[in-house]
Amino acid sequence: MRKKTSAKGSSRQNDKINRQQLMNSIVNLLSLEPNKTFNYKQIAHALQMKNGRQKEAVAEVLFELEMHGIVSEPDFGVYRINTRQAYITGRIDKQRTDKKTYLIPDDGAAPVLIPERATNRAMNGDIVKVLLTPHRKGHEQEGEVVEVIKRARTEFVGTLEIKHNFAFVSVDRKLLQHDIFVPTDKTKGGKNGQKCVVRITEWDNTDKNPIGEVIDVLGNIGDNNTEMHAILAEFGLPYSYPKEVEEAANHIPEEIPQEEIDRRIDMRDVTTFTIDPRDAKDFDDALSIRQLGENEWEVGVHIADVTYYVTPGSIINEEAIKRATSVYLVDRTIPMLPERLSNGLCSLRQDEDKLTYSVIFHMNNQGDVLSYKIARTVTRSNRRFTYEEAQEIIETGQGDYASEILQLNALAQILRTRRFAKGSIAFERTETRFEIDEKGKPISIYFKESKEANKLIEEFMLLANQTVATHIGKKKIDGKERTFVYRVHDVPNPDKLNNFAEFIKKFGYKLKTTGKNHEVSAALNHLLDTAEGKKEQNLIETLAVRSMAKAIYTTTNIGHYGLAFDYYTHFTSPIRRFPDMMVHRLLTTYLDGGKSVDPTQWEEWCDHSSDMEQLAANAERASIKYKQVEYMSERLGQVFDGVISGVTEWGIYVELNENKCEGMIPIRDLDDDYYVFDEKAYCITGRHYHRTYQLGDPIKIKVARADLTRKQLDFALVKE
């Protein structure tokens, strides 16, 4: 509401009209009584607008608001708020590449630009009410936040600074523009300069800074545990396990009752083994194989039967729902389930009887599935292989269970070839790994390579997931599909795919973007194969992935474009993914003859699991970025070759060839010209000398700065 002005109105100060403020005041006034009409004199009187110039301004603003549909004029000279046009609710989006703030409306309308001056303490993700301002021709629709309906988050990670009689927590400015004031008795024993988690408890409209309290002290800056816990807390992910949940897990009996074994298919006498990373402890899956005839095999994909131990409504189950996934940082795993379950009772450890959910295939030497059955089983792993051990057997033909591994590998290669022939896309990004010392400090960087042993496991897991989804999804009961949890992947956005195809032309590549799905995916595979080993390989793979939709969990099946499967789910990792537990429970219901369940709750769990999966991936990337910055902090001043991996209006991102670390050359440091950003061409160009820096260009840089707090590397251009 506009502040009251003097009745005299004689001074120039009082005559000055702030039109935007007047506009907001009129809209707010009319909104108090949306069904009542007012003439301009009544409005001017209510707003204490008494002199002639002020009344004239009211009339002008009313005319402007009526022109833009924010108010209506039901009768000549009287006005009423058009509530549908004036206000809109939605979610604040501050994480766009153009660094602007937008409202994403709830009703699906176009985003609304929120100028920084009009955010009124709204933070990224907040649900807010926005007052739309008159739309100027040729400009984006703008608005002003008038109410924060629901905060997306109230807890933040920051650095505690303690003064003589007060304290505050400094938070990443990308998340919160203001420091959080903390009373000295609310610091929870934290010391000056330590990282902590702070919760906002109060933020009045009249206060510039929010007031909060420290809820956990993480430790000293630079300490590995502190930094890893800080990353988890930044994304709202748990970094410790509730004691009551661990205690509940500790009370679960270890011995398997004989009556449970009697209810299952006993496969303990069939050759079975696990193949996992060398540092793995949670063994979700095992393979078994035995010969049935001269040309026929029984191959079992055995998955830990987590839902036998974790029951609906239990405290362990509720924690699993909340977490939805295990989180894998550079140096640790934060499990979805308590370690007694994830690394003990459920883990398919060598020489231990385990309860499993299995898909048992009857196959021939040509890789054809002649028949299959899905059943609850009891199994016993004869050997725990690392990928490296299994790979050595594949390469040499020598070692434990060599004939079984070689036969499984032969079948897996057939399945893989057939899958790609049907349109599956070969996305195999390079994964960065660190060798770290006992204090968590990165000593070296290496790259995880997917070899035949990895692909052997991948193919049989894909086959099991596809088979389970098809078994439930394809069979209808009374003409209706049963509720199930699917892993779906939509077709690519045509605009993104066309932009990608246009960009790669500069490297001499062509990409077919129209036609049947399998034709486009075949063209993508050909592109990825052609780029393999070239300097632009990683760039093209990255952009290809960005042109794709994200895979999600849902009860509505649309198929999986990337795998070219009509039906697909996640069945094979229930120790680390809640959707797999959901699949196991639905399978049990339907195999036992139960009716289709109401999809409402299951869809909510699917949405939550998709969101948590994205958060976990973001945290993993943040931990990798932190270790990259930490590693490069000891290489300041050194020169490296790289490739431009991103171009924005504020700088050039460069990925180093040697170790895949990424940093930025700030555009302000390119002082030889005034550079203009071309978003469509992925480049910046000097206005005077026309020097161009484009995505994919080779470049030589020097490491200038390494900011661990912001997880940011700054590079300086080395001119040839």
Averaged pLDDT for residues 705-709: 92
Looking at the DSSP bridge assignments, the partners of residue 442 are 436
Look at residue 258 and tell me whether its pLDDT is greater than 60. yes
Q: How far apart are CA 347 and CA 340, in angstroms?
A: 9
Tally of CB atoms within 10 A around 527: 20
Report the range out of 51-55, 645-649, 651-655 with the highest average pLDDT.
Answer: 651-655
Looking at the DSSP bridge assignments, the partners of residue 194 are 220
Q: How far apart are CA 638 and CA 632, in angstroms?
A: 9
Q: Which residues lie closer than 8 Å to 500 by C-beta, 6 or more apart?
A: 511, 543, 544, 546, 547
Supply the Cα-derived Rg of the chain in whole angstroms.
30
Q: How far apart are CA 360 and CA 401, in angstroms?
A: 19
DSSP label at residue 206: T
Q: How far apart are CA 75 and CA 696, in angstroms?
A: 63
Query: Which range is least confidently modeled, 549-553, 569-573, 614-618, 678-682?
Result: 678-682
Averaged pLDDT for residues 238-250: 94
- The secondary structure element, H or E, covering residue 499 is helix 494-504
At CA 523, angle to CA 522 and CA 525, rounded to 5? Answer: 65
Look at residue 265 and tell me whether its pLDDT is greater than 60. yes
pLDDT in tens, 114-142: 988 888 888 888 999 988 876 666 778 88
Looking at the DSSP bridge assignments, the partners of residue 436 are 442
Helices and strands in the chain, H and E counts: 19, 34
Q: How far apart are CA 165 and CA 510, in angstroms?
A: 66
Tally of CB atoms within 10 A around 53: 12
Averaged pLDDT for residues 216-241: 93
Return the percent helix, strand and coil in the chain, to nearest 5: 35, 30, 40
- The secondary structure element, H or E, covering residue 416 is helix 402-421
pTM score: 0.83
Report pLDDT for 479: 78
Averaged pLDDT for residues 249-266: 96
Query: What amino acid occupies position 694?
Result: Q
| DSSP states along 583-616 | HHHHHHHHHTTPPPPPHHHHHHHHHHHHHHHHHH
DSSP label at residue 551: P
What is the overall mean pLDDT for the chain? Answer: 89
- 8 A C-beta contact, residue 632 and residue 714: no
Q: How far apart are CA 183 and CA 211, in angstroms?
A: 8
Report residue 211's pLDDT band, with 50, 70 and 90 as the boundaries. very high
pLDDT in tens, 409-460: 999 999 999 999 999 998 776 788 899 998 899 999 988 888 999 999 999 9
Helix/strand/coil for 435:
strand
Q: How far apart are CA 433 and CA 624, in angstroms?
A: 8
Q: How far apart are CA 397 and CA 689, in angstroms?
A: 61
| Residue appearing with tokens 């897990």 | 249
pLDDT in tens, 564-602: 999 999 999 999 999 999 999 999 999 999 999 999 999
